[in-house]
Structure 1
């Protein structure tokens, strides 16, 4: 039963990654060192998501079909994800810079120790 659930979730995630480019953008920014700097500009992508969510909210409040709540929730989740992406990417970038500085310091220290 657990294998069936895991394979179902994996296929849904693979399908979403294939057809929804915003998920690929989030993964690229978070998982690649050279893309961390694009997290703050990517926060601007949250604005259209929130505007579309507001549109769906208006449709739902005017008595629209309940299935409009699915894209409404999707837009809200993606908007919040892009808003959170900026600070997260800055923290990841700071961590990478700290690790690189530490590696440079250790490398200089080893060179100084060999010279003595």
Structure 2
């Protein structure tokens, strides 16, 4: 049962990444060492998502169709995702730089003993 759920979630994420390039951007920032520095500028992409969500909220409050709640929810989720990418990428960058500094220190220490 759990394998079925995991495979279903994986296929949904793969389909969304194929058709929604913003998810590809988030994955690239989080999963690649050379892209961690782009986390903070990516947080600026949350602003248009929240502005569009505000427009959909206004439409819904004025008695619009309930189907507008789907893009409203999507805009909110993507806005929150882009807001979360910034601090996460900074933490990942700090972790990678610490790991690299420790490796350099160990290499210098080993070369100094010889």
1:113 matched to which residue of 2? 113
Equivalent residue pairs, number: 114
Quote how far apart the aligned CAs of 1:112 are.
1.2
Quote how far apart the aligned CAs of 1:9 are.
2.1
- Kindly indicate whether residue 26 of structure 2 is the aligned counterpart of residue 32 of structure 1: no
Return the TM-score normalized by structure 1.
0.91
Quote how far apart the aligned CAs of 1:2 are.
4.1
Give the secondary-structure state (helix, strand or coil) at the position aligned to 1:7. helix
2:78 matched to which residue of 1? 78
Q: Point out the structure with max Rg over C-alpha.
A: 1
Q: How many Å separate the matches in 1 of 2:11 and 2:5? A: 10
Quote how far apart the aligned CAs of 1:102 are.
0.4
2:20 matched to which residue of 1? 20
1:7 matched to which residue of 2? 7
CA pair 4-99 structure 1, distance change in 2 beyond 3 A? closer
Quote how far apart the aligned CAs of 1:28 are.
0.2
Runs of 4+ in structure 1 displaced over 6 angstroms? none
Q: Which runs of 5+ in 1 are unaligned?
A: none
1:46 matched to which residue of 2? 46
Structure 1 residues 81-90 or 5-14, which shifts more? Answer: 5-14
Give the secondary-structure state (helix, strand or coil) at the position aligned to 2:6. helix
Q: How many Å separate the matches in 1 of 2:28 and 2:39? A: 10
Q: How many Å separate the matches in 1 of 2:6 and 2:84? A: 27
Q: How many Å separate the matches in 1 of 2:72 and 2:88? A: 24
